[in-house]
Each structure stands twice: as structure tokens, then as C-alpha cells.
Structure 1
Amino acid sequence: MGRLSPVAVFFLNYVAFTAFSWIFPMDRKWLASLEKPSWSPPGMVVGMAWMVIFALISLAVALLWDKVGLRRIGLSWKAVFLASWFFNQLFYIGQSFSRNLFYSFLDTAAIAVTATLLVIVSWPYSRAAALLFAPYALWSTFATALAWTIYRLNR
């Protein structure tokens, strides 16, 4: 079996990050019923932002795959990446089943931490990949502040 092309890696990664959002869709009616701060973006903007961010993540992974390769990338990078992916998927499952806003805040905070760590652990391998992870870190940090505020408004 030959080495996967960076294009295939991009698409496989994108599917891996978005699959749970299709399997466990958000309850839009419940989300609309929550009190939100005035600075909360519309749901469609949030969804589009995550689609773009998942594409940037996928591009960063494809770049690292092409430049470094899976075997040569460090265990710390792999652990941070898998943790980030895991927390992203857990968010969809948690929203579908628990509707626990405090849990959502904690999970979003974990995503923000692992996204920020991805920027840091990617830098030695590829500055371009690290910069492609930066919007993920920034948006998930914003999402954490939003999740905390929504939790506080709806306690």
C-alpha cells in the first residue's frame, strides 16, 4: 500500500472532525431557547466558523503529513492532536445527550487548551501548520468565554 496523498489526508481528517456533528446533531430548538449574551454570534455564523476551522486543521495536518510524515512526528504532537479531536467529538455527544451547560463549558475549555497546544507543538515541525492551527485556538478560546457566559445566564 502506498503512502496517502496530502489531499486524501485532508479529506480523511475533515471527515474525522465533522462526522460526529452529523451523527449527533445539535438540538437547534433547545439552543435557541437559551439566553445568550448580546455578543453571541448567530448559530449559522458559529457553524460556518467551525467548518472553516476544521478545514484549516485538515490543511495543517495534510501539510505536516507531507512535510514530516506520521512516523517522524513526535508522540507529544500525536497525543495533543488526538486529545483535541476527542474533546471536539465529545462536545457533540454531550450536547446531544446531556444538555449540561457546565459540561459544555469544561469541554470547550479543553478544546481551547488542546488547540493552543497544537500551535505550540506544531511550530518546530512547520510554522505554516502552526499558524493554520492558530484560528482554532483563537475561536475555541472565544467559544469558551461564550460557553461560560451562556452557562451563567441559564443557571
Structure 2
Amino acid sequence: MLQSWIVIGAITLIVQFGSFFITPRDVKWFAKLARPRWLVFEPLIPVIWTVIFICGAASANFVWQKNPGTLQTWLFMGFYLLLEIITVTYIPLMLRFRSLRVGETIGSVGVILGLLLTFSVLPVSRFAALLLVPYLIWSPVGAYTTEELVQLNPQDA
């Protein structure tokens, strides 16, 4: 029997690979957008998201360990998976449609789902909820940054 952390980690990685469906043409569009002067941390964004996804996978594992295999726990696992899929689709869909508003919408949905998941798992495991705090802090930063990109690049909204 595989350990739960291995299964959760593997699923997290598999979903992450979905973000590789980006064509170079789409990336070139995004690279040409004007950026806010304060966006000096852009090269760190992949590292930041990696840490956030590791925290999310750890959070899911703590929830699983509390009541493994129950219907409630499986529903939580589905919620974690939905949040990860929404988060991972942000860049590919925004680039595919060349629309910052698409990214802004997906980012906002992620913020709401992150809040709902955090408050849902809080009664099950406070530590699992605490591990979702990095997502709750960073995802609004991403949504705000996208809004700033919209303001600077209205033609690409």
C-alpha cells in the first residue's frame, strides 16, 4: 500500500505538468506586456508557487491522516484537487486566450475557493488550515498584480 503523502504528492505533480501546455507564441505575448515597476519579484514566482503547492499537498495529507478513506475526507481531497486545477489553469488559459481578464477571473475564483477550503478544513485540522495560509496570502497578490497588468495594458484585457 502506498503512503498517502506519496499519492497526494504524485497527484500534485501530475496536475502541475498540465501547466506545460503553453505555446511559445503565447509566452511572447505575455512577455511584451508592460509591468508595474514594483514587480521586481517576478523571477521568484515559480519558487513561491512551488512552496505553496508543497504546503497544499502537506495540508491535504494532514486532512487525509485525520479520517482516511471517509466520504468527508474524499470530498476534501476533491476540493484540494479542484483548487489546484483552478490555480494551475490561470497562466495557460490567460495565455491561450491572450486575455488578462481571463487570468483575473481564474485568480479571483482561486482566492474564493482557497478561503472556502481553509475554513472547511479548520475543524478537521488546524495545522492543515495553517498550511493553506501561504495560498491565502499569495493568491490575492497574484489577482492584484493581474489587475495592475490590466490597467497598464488595457488593449490586452
TM range (shorter): 0.7 to 0.9
Alpha-carbon distance in structure 2 between the residues aligned to 1:9 and 1:91: 24
Alpha-carbon distance in structure 2 between the residues aligned to 1:119 and 1:50: 17
Alpha-carbon distance in structure 2 between the residues aligned to 1:52 and 1:123: 20
The letter of the residue matching 1:142 is: V
> Is the CA contact (8 Å cut-off) linking 2:15 and 2:85 kept in structure 1?
no
Does 1:150 pair with 2:149? yes
Q: Can you list the C-alpha shifts for 1:78-125, whole angstroms capped at 9, x where unaligned?
A: 554343123123323313411200111111111111112121111011
Q: What is the TM-score when the length of structure 2 is the normalising length?
A: 0.83
Report how many aligned residue pairs link the two structures: 153
Corresponding residue number in structure 1 for 2:108: 109
Corresponding residue number in structure 2 for 1:21: 19
Corresponding residue number in structure 2 for 1:6: 4
Gaps spanning 5+ residues in structure 1: where? none
Q: Can you list the C-alpha shifts for 1:58-95, whole angstroms capped at 9, x where unaligned?
A: 11111212222242435763554343123123323313
Corresponding residue number in structure 2 for 1:128: 127
Gaps spanning 5+ residues in structure 2: where? none
> Is the CA contact (8 Å cut-off) linking 1:60 and 1:128 kept in structure 2?
yes
The letter of the residue matching 1:148 is: E
The letter of the residue matching 1:149 is: E
Q: What is the TM-score when the length of structure 1 is the normalising length?
A: 0.84
Alpha-carbon distance in structure 1 between the residues aligned to 2:91 and 2:68: 30
SS of aligned partner of 1:93: helix
Corresponding residue number in structure 1 for 2:98: 99
Percent identity, aligned pairs only?
Answer: 22
> Is the CA contact (8 Å cut-off) linking 2:56 and 2:131 kept in structure 1?
yes
SS of aligned partner of 1:73: helix
